[in-house]
Structure 1
């Protein structure tokens, strides 16, 4: 009993330490977002003496967040729609059908998840430049979608594997066509999978930097992330309070989004953990 108690205490100490490591940086961001630069330099871990809200208004104007959030939403929504459409049909075929080359396709998607996107930046940039697509948010969405599609396909496949094919066979006997079977019977059964993939893709697209900074040139095309990173240059470099406020402005929307759908993501990942 004493040994089990010591083990439990040790486990709780490790958990508490991990929680502290995760939350302490967020604590620093929150408290310093409400402090002027001079107070941050004096004592970065102290509570603010009063709510210094000028940091938020200054960060919003300097980073162009009104334009950046609009561009980010366009980028995220377009990317999510492309990935969901592609992964839904590809996952359905790979999870429920037998056809020649299925194993090769599965190997391709697994391999695609391991290849770094940096290998394709130069040829992609050349294609974008020739087609005059530099700064085109919707064109960039296809690139980010292509990066996320392999993982999304493999995730959706696990959900389709768990759907009883008797449902499809019964619908076919009742005279349902392919479109009715997919959209009215099969796809509703894997709704947790759609939510899980959508959340993962939206988080990745919102936080994406490499592709966006390469192809979205010009301040009018900046996303919220690129707008925030622009705070690192110019005469505002040393205003740490404004930087903290800007990071909080970016983090809060996506944090609320994730926390509101966290239960569905966990349920979806659990439901998709099936064995063939």
Structure 2
């Protein structure tokens, strides 16, 4: 009986936290199909009539069509660069294949603690000097550099869980390092790759400071900047703002829901060793 009561209590707590997390999303969805008058009157009430004009307005004035393309380019570049660099660095550091690996670990730790704001102006000067402003892929590389230390630590943890005997057996069989990493290690650490890709991808999609600094051309701005540009014009049009917010978060929410099992498994398996 005591065990059953504990289980009911645990489920009640989980349901409370789930409701707390889902309530804002439900409120955004509810108000995105209501007129501004209905939202002001009672944001918690059901709409008298469903209207999708808010989505049309948000999509048009937020320039979400161009913004989505730029966001995909930026996020895709970030994820590819981070996965490539962090995978190779994590493999080397996990296997202690260089003598200076403790120094590298200290450097990565320090890199994660330094605020990115310290590098914005020097980076801007360099990027402007080589005429690479207003390029989403360049911004993707910059964001990737910010995320690589954390991703390297995480990938190193996954590689630490791979038995050393596996690599020794591959060397005996004459398998090269590149073949071993590509055909043997990457399938084993796939949960880690998915976890890093999702976490870094979400950060890149929602990133504001770097994007706003380096993407000033409206035709090169991301969907996040497009939504924020609506703030001044549609600050009183709550329905359009709610619809824009829903358009902004819907893709990342769908991707996270689709891959959440892999992310949870990856975090769990990557926490065994440190």
Q: Give the shorter-chain TM-score range.
A: over 0.9
TM-score (norm 1): 0.93
The gaps in structure 1 that reach 5 residues or longer are none
Q: Does 1:265 align with 2:263?
A: yes
In structure 2, C-alpha distance between the alignment counterparts of 1:209 and 1:52, rounded to whole Å: 30
Cα root mean square deviation, aligned: 1.8
248, 251, 256: which one aligns with 2:249: 251
| CA deviation string 1:209-251 (max 9, x = no partner) | 11101111111011011111111123x3311100000110111
CA distance in 1 between counterparts of 2:168 and 2:65 reads 51
Secondary structure in 2 aligned to 1:233?
A: helix
Q: For 2:75, what is the secondary structure of its paired residue?
A: helix
Indicate the residue corresponding to 1:64 in structure 2.
63
2: CA distance, partners of 1:165 / 1:15: 39
Aligned residue in 2 for 1:194 = 193
Q: Gapped runs of 5+ residues in structure 2?
A: none
Secondary structure of the residue aligned to 1:132 is coil
| 1:95-115 deviation digits (Å, cap 9, x = unpaired) | 112432211111111221121
1:148 matched residue in structure 2:
147
Q: Give the structure-2-normalised TM-score.
A: 0.94
SS of the residue corresponding to residue 113 of structure 2 reads: coil
CA deviations 1:55-78 (Å, max 9, x no partner) are 011111010011000000001111
State the distance in 1 between where 2:139 and 2:245 align.
Answer: 23
Cα shift at 1:10: 6.2
- Name whichever of 264-273 and 240-249 sits farther off: 264-273
Q: How far apart, CA to CA, are the structure 1 residues paired with 2:245 and 2:273? A: 41
1:17 Cα deviation from its structure 2 partner: 3.9
| Equivalenced residues, count | 274
Tell me by how many angstroms 1:141 deviates: 0.8
Specify whether residues 114 and 233 from structure 1 end up closer, same or farther in structure 2 by C-alpha distance, changes over 3 A only: same
Q: How does 1:53-202 map to 2 (within 5 A)?
A: 53-202=52-201
> What CA distance in whole angstroms lies between the structure 2 residues aligned with 1:3 and 1:81?
47
